[in-house]
Amino acid sequence: MLNILKTHFGFDQFRPLQEEIIECVMAQRDAFVLMPTGAGKSLCFQLPALKMPGVTLVISPLIALMKDQVDALKADGIPAEFINSTLTRAEIDRIQTAALRGEIKILYAAPERLALPEFQYFLQKIVVSLIAIDESHCISEWGHDFRPDYRNLKVLRTRFPAVPVMALTATATRKVREDIICQLSLEKAKIFTSSFNRPNLSYAVLPKKNSYDHLINLFREHRDEAAIIYCFSRKDTEHLAADLRQEGFKALPYHAGLESEARRTNQEKFIRDEAQIIVATIAFGMGIDKPDVRLVIHYHLPKSIEGYYQETGRAGRDGLPSQCLLFYSPGDASKQKHFIRQIEDEAEQKNAYQKLDQMVKYCELATCRRHYLLAYFGENYPQEKCDGCDICLSPQEYFDATIISQKIMSAIIRTGQRFGMNYIIDVLVGAKHKKIIERDHHNLSVFGIVDDFSKEDLGRIVSQLVSKKLIVKSGDEYPTLQLSPRGNEFLKQREKINLTKFESIAKLSQPGEAVEAAYDKELFEKLRHLRKKIADEKEVPPYVIFSDLTLRQMAFYLPQSEDNFSRISGVGDEKLKQYGEIFTEVIQTYARKNDRPEKDVPVKRSASSHRPNRLGPTYRETQELVREKMSIEKMASLRGLAAGTIASHIEKLVSNGEKLDIDYLRPPVEQLETIKAAFQKSRGTALSPVLEILGEPFSYAELKIARLFIRS
């Protein structure tokens, strides 16, 4: 097996668990494999496929990934094919004929194909030696990506009772694991669980302030490095990609609403290094096998930890240092809740609320993010600090939070322990909105007693008090705040408390730096250009030729003999034969010209400048809601923003010349005349003097909207 591993795949040693999993299926036993993205799951069925007689059938829901994996296998000299809806009838006939002749070792198919009688008949005529079910969490309704077509897989157990089945997934909680095993009748399977820790990935959460500027600076620092940005909606992806192109970056959108040809082209350009950035909805990423993605950015809040973990898992699959950044705003959680409310099934809705709450907790952590992620999947992280997340890398500064904590907790008690965080914060800062006045809460002693913290900072303090179990959240859709027995004791005894400061967000580290960190950058670029030229000629992605890690090793060791070159990780017999001479020639020329010596390769153990005139995503979101004729109050509630902020967005949209029908927001005639008279009396357009003239019945939001109609 080690010989095949080196000959075909160019590796000298198995990664953790690979050897044990391969031995298990070679002994004709079922296996359940839980391994994080990038840990080498595919090799667990690809390698035994070369030793077993007949065909290994791989079930995968990812049509684009099938092509990538088959291209990569063919480049390694392995006979592999795929059958899915992108092929013509003639192409499918050709592949099935080749399989019947014994000319194919690995055959990929989508789960929908198993429902077709003709495909079932074809499978009965060939020798199936192993069945591998990739992304097996798709069979579980409790997973984050349930697909009904995966239920068809039960037919495989009845049709091929003696054939070993391997179920593979990168993300599954204990509940999902049990469901997969039950659904696929894998009760006698040997279970392999790898660590979920990805030491080469850094994690950080940034507040959603000036997020666009932060993106621009980040991409300038990481020019030419591949990045994926995940957005909430299709329109967000298109607007952000267009804005980034205006900044001079090669950015393309990807979402399910694009024409299939446009999707395919954009994905192909990204995979082939012709586009640096893909801005996508979650429709993108599962379908690619690009190992050199250096940045995964979540521009909006993900729905669940599973989804977030899987999406961040698309960074650094080659083991090189990569960064995962999430921009967080409580308003994004409100938006997610709006869609959860549309779910009709009560159990499913409750499950969605719980998953979102766990995601929000991750964003509001004051402790190690890696520790939280691993604990979510049932794994204990032994170290106190991971040195690979913004929390652990920040010099932890604390402030005396005794007084502000007492104020928050007193407000919770005085309002009856039946309101959510936003309401409590509004009371504390003295917001005079209707509901507070109707409930007479503007007359409470805690009303308006906080003027030294922003609403955002107050939200973070509440989150820390929740994590310290002084405050508890109850309910799913609209969680309310209550004091725990410990919180009551804290108030009663007038205890002191220190909390983490919010200002310090560390620069992401580069964990896991290897010996090859000192590679020659100029030579690496020359080898990259050569790789791209060969890849274009062969019409395959560059990483199918060699990975970035392999090129970095070449640029570090400067191998010039066939023997030395063959010891580079990722250089197998087939690639040595095809590319050895071409690459060593470039290395030799460079080494002579720059007087650089060849090093012996050990047997590797694998292991704000000008911005275009643009409206940011927050304005676009308000614009879409106005087009749906939504009221100011409903927009504010949905987005978790103040009504005055929404009104300001509408003012900005109108002043920017956006075509927007706001007539439905026009105040009643009598009310508009009253406000107009107040503006005339104040002899200006400022709101504060008008509010003083009119008194309490009007809000800033109402005055802002009225001002639009008065001006027009």
Q: What is the CATH number of the domain that holds 359?
A: 3.40.50.300
548 and 496, same domain (yes or no): no
Confidence of residue 712 (pLDDT cuts 50, 70, 90): low
**Of 193, 212, 240, which marks where a domain is finished?**
193
Instruction: Assign 395 a pLDDT band (cuts: 50, 70, 90).
Output: low
For residue 86, the SS3 value is coil
**Does residue 587 sit within a domain?**
yes
CA distance 620 to 618: 5
Query: At 82, is the secondary structure helix, strand, or coil?
Result: strand
Q: Same domain for 181 and 215?
A: no
Tell me: the pLDDT tens digits for 115-125?
888 998 999 99
657 occurs within a structural domain? yes
Predicted pLDDT at 28: 93
Q: Is residue 213 predicted with pLDDT exceeding 70?
A: yes
Residue 177 lies inside a defined structural domain of this protein: yes
Q: Looking at the domain assignment, is residue 71 inside a domain?
A: yes
pLDDT in tens, 229-243: 999 888 889 999 999
Q: Are 162 and 125 contained in the same domain?
A: yes
Q: What angle do CA 265, 76, 93 make, to 5 degrees?
A: 65
Q: How far apart are CA 541 and CA 40, in angstroms?
A: 19
pLDDT at 510 over 60: no
* pLDDT of amino acid 109: 93
The model's confidence at residue 226, banded by pLDDT at 50, 70 and 90, is very high
Q: Is residue 386 domain-shared with residue 425, that is, in the same domain?
A: no
Task: For residues 463 and 415, state if they share a domain.
Answer: yes
Question: 508 versus 576: which is more confidently predicted?
Answer: 576
What is the predicted pLDDT for the residue at 64?
Answer: 67
What's the pLDDT score for residue 419? 92
State residue 293's pLDDT score: 92
Q: Are residues 115 and 176 in the same domain?
A: yes
Please check whether residues 81 and 133 belong to one and the same domain. Answer: yes
Q: How many structural domains comprise the chain?
A: 5
For the chain, state the CA radius of gyration: 29
Do residues 587 and 561 both lie within one domain?
Answer: yes
| Residue 659 or 354, more confident | 354
Domain stop point among 167, 193, 219 = 193
Of 193, 224, 239, the last residue of a domain is 193
Q: How confident is the model at residue 507 (pLDDT cuts 50, 70, 90)?
A: very low
The tens digit of pLDDT for each residue in 316-344 reads 988 889 999 999 987 788 888 888 888 88
Q: Do 150 and 169 belong to one domain? A: yes
Residue 474 lies in a domain: yes
Q: What is the pLDDT of residues 8-47, one digit of tens each?
A: 888 888 888 899 999 999 999 999 999 877 678 889 999 9
Are residues 172 and 23 located together in one domain of the fold? yes
pLDDT score recorded for residue 378: 83
Share above pLDDT 90 across residues of the chain, in percent, rounded to a whole number: 31
Two structure tokens written together for 325: 């950044």
576 has a pLDDT exceeding 50: yes
Q: What is the pLDDT of residues 119-176, one digit of tens each?
A: 989 999 999 999 999 888 888 766 556 777 787 787 788 888 889 999 998 877 788 8
Q: Is the pLDDT of residue 193 over 90?
A: no
Three-state secondary-structure class, residue 388:
coil
Domain hosting residue 187, numbered range:
2-193
Is 303 domain-assigned?
Answer: yes
Q: How far apart are CA 220 and CA 277, in angstroms?
A: 12
Q: What rounded mean pLDDT belongs to the chain?
A: 85
Percent of the chain with pLDDT over 70: 92
* Residue 252 forms part of a structural domain: yes
Please check whether residues 406 and 476 belong to one and the same domain: yes
The reported pLDDT for the residue numbered 424 is: 94
pLDDT interval class at 615 (50, 70, 90): low
The residue type found at 114 is L
Burial 101-113 (b: 16+ CB within 10 A, else e): eeebbbbbbbbbb
pLDDT of residue 284: 60
CATH of the domain at 640: 1.10.10.1390
Task: Tell me if residue 371 falls in helix, strand or coil.
Answer: helix
What pLDDT, on the 0 to 100 scale, is given for residue 570?
85
Give pLDDT, residue 515. 42
Which of 709, 618, 652, 687 has its CA nearest to residue 239?
A: 618
CA atoms of 651 and 644, how far apart (whole Å) = 10
Residues 448 and 563 in one domain: no
Residue 106 has φ and ψ, to the nearest 5°, of -130, 125
| Cα dist from 589 to 339, 529, 558, 569, 593, whole Å | 59, 15, 11, 22, 6
pLDDT grade, residue 297 (50/70/90)? very high
* Distance of alpha carbon 471 from alpha carbon 462, whole angstroms: 8
